[in-house]
A and B are shown apart, each in its own frame.
Chain A
Amino acid sequence: MSLQVELEHYRNVLIVRLRGELDHHTADAVRFKMEEAILRGGSDHVILSLKGLLFMDSSGLGVILGRYKQLKAKDGKMVVCDVNPGVYRLFELSGLFKILPIHDNERLALTSLEVVS
């Protein structure tokens, strides 16, 4: 089981859909794809859509935190949606929900970003 990264630009928002397993082995690919899309894509904000993410460990927390900092440096926002119970627990334990708003699905996540922008 590896990891697929799907990127979609919608207006000024980059939607990142992760499918599979996010660990140390797959974290670098996520880092580089998102880094480049944020730098070159012209999007202000990012939605991390995790419906298909079956497994994540602290390497995933690291790469998400890294992109959050990258966005914050240019006044962008990051929100997450469709989080499964296992991933939710890791977010909760690490305190990531204090900085990343969570939504039930992509539609609600998009709505929240259009309100803030």
Chain B
Amino acid sequence: MNGTNEMRLTFSARSENEAFARVAVAAFVSQLDPTMEELNDLKTVVSEAVTNAIIHGYESDPSGMVTIEAMIEVDTITLIVKDNGSGIEDLDLARQPLFTSKPEMERSGMGFTIMENFMDGFDVSSEPGRGTSIAMTKRIESKKALFN
């Protein structure tokens, strides 16, 4: 494949769109012929990032918009999940396993830990009052490569 293949998706910050976002990214990445495990990893991190945007970024206000950008370059997928919500005051604290700012909602505090573990690259930038952007990369060990 020459150059980069990109897609961009913007949708309302509604919880029913979490499943839609997972399926859309999975369909886009299917051209790399990922394994079931790789596909599940990608669906999980999309779910985590989008859920964070909805619950924390927009405090469950559905008028907010969430954007996913996905780029495929050779065998690597880059995912960027962005919101223009409240942002994160203390990133180091938010990234601690089991830390959650919403224990009353039964949040497990595992979102960032899962994203870091399931992907090869993970970076989060946030500005209080402006929003949060999560960038993640994963190399897909295509099943096709076995037959080349």
Query: Is the A/B pair a real complex?
Result: yes
**Residues of chain A at the chain B interface (Cβ within 8 Å):** 1, 21, 23-25, 27, 31, 55, 57-59, 61-63, 65-66, 85-86, 90, 93-94
B106 touches A57 (CB 8 A): no
Besides the contacts A27-B106, A90-B44, what 4 more A-B pairs have beta carbons closer than 8 Å? A24-B18, A24-B55, A58-B108, A58-B114
> A55-B40, A57-B51, A58-B114 known; A23 and B19 CB under 8 Å?
yes
Give Cα A86 to B22, complex, Å. Answer: 15
Question: Within the assembled complex, what's the spacing in Å between the Cα atoms of A61 and B51?
Answer: 14
A90: which B residues are within 8 A, CB to CB? Answer: 44, 110, 114
Also in contact, A61 and B110, with CB within 8 A (given A24-B54, A86-B37, A86-B44) = yes
User: By the criterion CB–CB under 8 Å, are A24 and B106 in contact?
Assistant: no
Instruction: Say how far B103's CB is from chain A's closest CB, in angstroms.
Output: 9
Tell me if B's interface is mostly helix, strand, loop or mixed.
helix
Interface set of B (CB-CB < 8 Å, partner A): 15-16, 18-19, 22, 37, 40, 43-44, 47-48, 51, 54-55, 105-111, 113-114, 117
CB contacts (< 8 Å) of B105 on chain A: these are: 62
Q: Which residues of the other chain, A, contact B16 by a CB distance below 8 angstroms?
A: 25
Q: Which residues of A contact B51 (CB under 8 A)?
A: 23-24, 57-59
Contact indicator A86/B40 (Cβ below 8 Å):
yes
List, in ascending order, chain A residues with CB within 8 A of B19's CB: 1, 21, 23, 25
Question: Are the C-beta atoms of B108 and A55 separated by less than 8 Å?
Answer: no
Q: Roughly how many angstroms separate A58 CA and B45 CA in the complex, as a whole number?
A: 10
Within the assembled complex, what's the spacing in Å between the Cα atoms of A63 and B110?
Answer: 13
**Can you identify 28 A-B contacts, CB atoms within 8 angstroms?**
A1-B19, A21-B19, A23-B15, A23-B18, A23-B51, A24-B18, A24-B47, A24-B51, A25-B18, A31-B106, A57-B114, A58-B107, A58-B108, A58-B111, A58-B114, A59-B107, A61-B108, A62-B105, A62-B106, A65-B106, A86-B40, A86-B44, A90-B44, A90-B114, A93-B113, A94-B108, A94-B110, A94-B113
